[in-house]
Amino acid sequence: MNAPTIRVLYIDDEENNLNAFKAGFRRQYEIYTAISAADGLKILENVPVHVIIADQKMPQTTGVEFFKSIVKTFPDPIRILLTGYTDIEALADAINHGDIYRYITKPWNDLELHNSIKNAYDAYKAKIDLRDKVAELEKTNDELNRFIYSISHELRAPLVSAMGIVNVVKMENLFHSSGEYWGMIETCSNKLDYYIQKTLQYYKNNKLVNENTPIDFKSLVAELIELYSYTDRETNFKVNIEQDIPFIGDAFRIEVILGNLISNAITYQKEDEQHKIVDIQIQVKKDVAEISISDNGMGILNEHLEKIFTQFFKSKTNHGSGLGLFIVKEALNKINGKISVSSNLQDGTTFKIKIPNVK
């Protein structure tokens, strides 16, 4: 396989240096030379150069100044500085700003300069490859975004229709007319709808950038209770929210966190419990909101407490999706929140959460 053609531009105000460079390296590289920075700029505008070598001491501009001037317009070529004297401040400034790849003292050593050009070209290739990969990933990510939203809407449209039919059957008192079939359809539809919603929550949580806005916990909790309590109207809620100061946080993720925990507290009640209770306590402080959500439900086995935040984990005592608490933990990680849990099969479960107030 033929070696790639490496295009090198050398800028120097001394023509003897230009001729010597061209004579020494013309067999190994495609060489372009310029007697001034202005001439070098003209070449850059017409030739896709890989490596630029410039002398530091030139009449109109220094090599460092030239490199700085082309960083934005020609960011890809790798830059090497030739200097015949030690200008530590200029070199340090150039290196710190990423304007040069390395510097070589004059008169140069052919082997050292040759190795520097080869290494610079490898750095150029790595930079271009990385940019191409990033562009490819961005394209794939955009396509995935469109696919996720499209498929979720395409799935939900017929699903909502099916759930609507079940509701019509209920209204006409025909729900039990075909044995357990309508109940099975309703259960499967609700489960599928749940999975679609959790998938979207997980996806949005991973993709969305944090957006902090004022949070009114009283209205938020009231809305979530109204939203999720329809599944079991027998559950009683004890709510105590102390918020005398403003709280700023990520509304989407806080809603996801509280919504999943409230939904779970309702869902995992004991079927024979006569007094189903969900206790929600929130205290907003200057730096943090402390939240406690408790239920007197079926509880979680001690050996499962460390696993409940794992994706798709299901215990023997409850048969959830294994997504809700995983999404809660992921959302808390995004906003630097913390969560702990205590539970037993007799008294139920308590989740305690701390969410930073970014005000």
- Asked whether residue 115 is domain-assigned, the answer is no
User: Quick check: 91 pLDDT over 80?
Assistant: no
Q: Are residues 201 and 230 in the same domain?
A: no
Among 3-7, 97-101, 294-298, which is the least confidently predicted range? Answer: 97-101
* Residue 50, domain CATH: 3.40.50.2300
More confidently predicted of 311 and 343: 343
Instruction: Look up residue 49 and give its two tokens.
Output: 């150069």
Q: Are residues 11 and 87 in the same domain?
A: yes
What is the C-alpha separation between 116 and 121, in angstroms, rounded?
9
pLDDT for the residue 341: 93
- Asked whether residue 149 is domain-assigned, the answer is yes
Q: Are residues 245 and 320 in the same domain?
A: yes
Q: Are residues 351 and 214 in the same domain?
A: yes
Q: Is the N-terminal amide bond of 107 cis, ω within 30° of 0?
A: yes
Q: Are residues 31 and 75 in the same domain?
A: yes
Residue 250, C-beta contacts closer than 8 angstroms, at least 6 positions apart: 210, 211, 212, 213, 334, 335
Q: Is the distance from CB of 64 to CB of 93 less than 8 angstroms? A: yes
pLDDT for the residue 32: 95
More confidently predicted of 147 and 23: 23
According to the per-residue pLDDT averaged within each range, which of 78-92, 196-210, 270-284 is highest? 270-284
Q: How confident is the model at residue 96 (pLDDT cuts 50, 70, 90)?
A: low
The predicted model gives 155-164 an average pLDDT of 81
Q: Are residues 352 and 221 in the same domain?
A: yes
Q: What are the DSSP calls for 192-211, one per residue?
A: HHHHHHHHHHHHHHHHSPP-
Q: What is the DSSP letter of 291?
A: E
- Asked whether residue 41 is domain-assigned, the answer is yes
Nearest CA among 19, 115, 104 for reference residue 55: 104
What is the C-alpha separation between 260 and 257, in angstroms, rounded?
6
Among 1-5, 40-44, 214-218, which is the least confidently predicted range? Answer: 1-5
Q: Is the pTM of this model over 0.95?
A: no
Among 154-158, 206-210, 243-247, which is the least confidently predicted range? Answer: 206-210
Q: Are residues 240 and 298 in the same domain?
A: yes
User: What is the span of the domain harbouring residue 278?
Assistant: 210-356
The predicted model gives 33-47 an average pLDDT of 94
Q: Is 73 exposed, middle or buried (0-12, 13-18, 19+ CB in 10 A)?
A: exposed
pLDDT > 70: percent of the chain? 91
Q: Which of 93, 108, 123 is the last residue of a domain?
A: 108
- Asked whether residue 280 is domain-assigned, the answer is yes
Helix axes 181-207, 110-171, angle to 10 degrees: 150
Q: Are residues 264 and 352 in the same domain?
A: yes
Q: How confident is the model at residue 188 (pLDDT cuts 50, 70, 90)?
A: confident
Each residue of 246-296: pLDDT tens digit? 999 999 999 999 999 998 898 888 878 889 899 999 999 999 999 999 999
Give the Cβ contact number of residue 300 at 10 Å.
22
- Asked whether residue 117 is domain-assigned, the answer is no
Q: Are residues 229 and 198 in the same domain?
A: no
pLDDT for the residue 347: 87
Among 30-34, 112-116, 291-295, 310-314, which is the least confidently predicted range? Answer: 310-314
pLDDT for the residue 87: 63
Residue 341, C-beta contacts closer than 8 angstroms, at least 6 positions apart: 300, 305, 308, 349, 350, 351, 352
Q: Are residues 77 and 191 in the same domain?
A: no
Q: Which residues pair with residue 54 across a beta bridge?
A: 11, 81
The predicted model gives 329-348 an average pLDDT of 91
User: Quick check: 312 pLDDT over 70?
Assistant: no
Number of domains in the chain: 3
- Asked whether residue 124 is domain-assigned, the answer is no
* Residue 341, domain CATH: 3.30.565.10
User: Quick check: 333 pLDDT over 60?
Assistant: yes
pLDDT for the residue 1: 46
Q: Which of 173, 192, 207 is the last residue of a domain?
A: 207
User: Quick check: 8 pLDDT over 70?
Assistant: yes
Q: Which of 146, 175, 207 is the last residue of a domain?
A: 207
Mean pLDDT of the chain: 86
Q: Are residues 195 and 317 in the same domain?
A: no
What is the C-alpha separation between 288 and 354, in angstroms, rounded?
6
Among 2-16, 137-151, 159-173, 207-221, which is the least confidently predicted range? Answer: 137-151
Q: Are residues 215 and 201 in the same domain?
A: no
- Asked whether residue 184 is domain-assigned, the answer is yes
Residue 41, C-beta contacts closer than 8 angstroms, at least 6 positions apart: 70
- Asked whether residue 114 is domain-assigned, the answer is no
